[in-house]
Amino acid sequence: MFEHFERPRIFTGNPPPEGVKASVRIWNTDPLKKYPAVDGPPWVGFEPVVRTLSKIAHSYAVAEYGLGTFSPLLKQTILNDKFDFEDKLWSMFIGCEKDIQKYPSLNLHEISIGPVEFQNRFLLLCKVWLFASVPSTPIYEVVVGEHWHNRFTPRKVVIPQLSG
């Protein structure tokens, strides 16, 4: 089970979230039984999850739109060795979609990115759905950066399930 929390605070204006756990435990490990390296329900520190989401989203933005085409907002989260999960600054740019998907995807992972106009700013919003084939996994929203125009076109990529 992954932590679900509200949308990135840049959109809501809400204060930092309270009670977000620093680690989560994956209870439904049935899909993980395909991978012999996984032994029992693992604990996952949430700080690395926040940093990983930032890295995935930033890398995808650079891959799709190019380096230097937007002003990155996640540099501190990605590069700061003294990243402080407790200060919750990450919640300004990282959150979850409001609705939990009722049905899982047929894909293992899904990622999409596109421009969002918000308060006269053009933001790049990346949606990362890790383990999309597992019920109740959140779709994370990651505000990657700010850009100077709205001519970016939305993009999406999926990673299919392993067969067999």
98-145: pLDDT as tens digits? 877 777 888 889 999 998 888 888 899 999 998 888 887 889 999 999
pTM: 0.78
Instruction: Return the sign of the alpha-carbon dihedral for residues 14, 19, 22, 23.
Output: negative
The conformational region for residue 13 under phi > 0 = left, psi -120 to 50 = alpha, else beta, is left
pLDDT at 119: 87
Tokens representing 112 are: 């999409």
DSSP letter at 110? E
Task: Extract the residue ranges of the chain whose pLDDT is less than 70.
Answer: 1-4, 19-45, 81-87, 149-151, 162-164
For tokens 């999309």, the residue is 132
Give buried/exposed letters for 17-30 (b at 16+ CB in 10 A, else e).
eeebeeebebeeee
Instruction: Return the sign of the alpha-carbon dihedral for residues 101, 105, 110, 113.
Output: negative
pLDDT at 23: 46
